[in-house]
Amino acid sequence: MSNPYLAVLKINIKGATAYKVDFALYTLFNMLKSLILIFVFYAVYQFSNVSTLNGITFSSIMIYFFVIGSMDYITGSAIAMTLQADIKEGSITNSLIRPISYISIVFLSTIPIDLLLFIFTTIPILVLIYLIAGIHLSGFIIIAFAIGILIAYIISNLLSFIVGSLSIYFVDIQGMLEGTIWITEILGGGIVPIMLFPKIISSVLMLTPFPFIIFVPAGIFTGIINANIINILIVGIVWVIILALISKIVWKRVSKNMNVVGV
pLDDT band for 150, please (50, 70, 90 cuts).
Answer: very high
Measure the CA–CA gap between 159 and 254, rounded to whole angstroms.
Answer: 15
Q: Where are the alpha helices (DSSP H) in the chain?
A: 4-16, 20-48, 58-70, 78-89, 92-96, 102-117, 123-133, 139-165, 174-187, 199-205, 215-222, 229-257
Whole-structure pTM value: 0.85
- To the nearest whole percent, how much of the chain has pLDDT over 70? 83
Higher-scoring residue by pLDDT: 22, 172: 172
In Å, what is the CA distance from 95 to each residue of 58, 105, 155? 50, 8, 24
Per residue in 82-92, pLDDT (tens digit) is 888 777 776 66
Q: Which of 185, 205, 192, 218 is nearest to 54 (CA)?
A: 192
